[in-house]
């Protein structure tokens, strides 16, 4: 199976922001399905360690849409540099991948 489907990870500042991003991506056919969950994030920013509550988006999509998805997230996101990273899907049930493809076609 050529790698074209993928999972894109994005974090958001709040549940409301996460839901808004997810709904916009699904409405614009840039994601077939997005799952949301509460997380705590630990990272450095300007030399100091931060621990913040965030929301994780796990976005199932076709990576041919990655650039458009990235642009839409950056357009809507409250952060200057939001996390937007893609992981390959290398196998899947045919029925699910067909559904994924259909959900993304205009």
Applying CB under 8 A, the residues found at the interface with a copy of itself are: 3, 5-7, 9, 11, 19, 22-23, 26-27, 32-44, 49, 51, 54, 56, 58, 60, 63, 66, 70, 74, 80-93, 95-97, 99, 103
For the CB of residue 13, give the shortest distance to a copy of itself in the complex, in Å. Answer: 13
Residue whose CB is less far from a copy of itself, 7 or 13: 7
Residue whose CB is less far from a copy of itself, 23 or 78: 23
Closest CA to 32 of 62, 70, 75, 10: 62
How far is 71 from 15, CA to CA, in rounded Å?
A: 21
State the maximum Cα–Cα separation within the chain, in Å, rounded to a whole number: 47
Query: Angle CA(74)–CA(78)–CA(83) in degrees, nearest 5?
Result: 55
For the CB of residue 17, give the shortest distance to a copy of itself in the complex, in Å. Answer: 13
Rg (CA), the chain: 14
For the CB of residue 28, give the shortest distance to a copy of itself in the complex, in Å. Answer: 11
Cα 22 from chain centroid?
8
- Strand-pair partners of 87: 7
Residue whose CB is less far from a copy of itself, 13 or 70: 70
For the CB of residue 86, give the shortest distance to a copy of itself in the complex, in Å. Answer: 4
């Amino acid at each position: 199976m050529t790698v074209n489907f993928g999972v894109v990870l994005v974090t958001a500042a709040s549940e409301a922001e996460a839901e808004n991003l997810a709904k916009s991506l699904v409405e614009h056919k840039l994601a077939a399905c997005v799952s949301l969950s509460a997380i705590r994030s630990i990272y450095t920013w300007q030399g100091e360690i931060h621990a913040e509550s965030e929301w994780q988006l796990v976005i199932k999509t076709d990576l041919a849409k990655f650039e458009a998805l990235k642009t839409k997230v950056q357009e809507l996101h409250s952060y200057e540099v939001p996390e937007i990273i893609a992981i390959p899907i290398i196998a899947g049930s045919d029925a699910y991948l067909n559904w994924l493809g259909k959900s993304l076609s205009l």
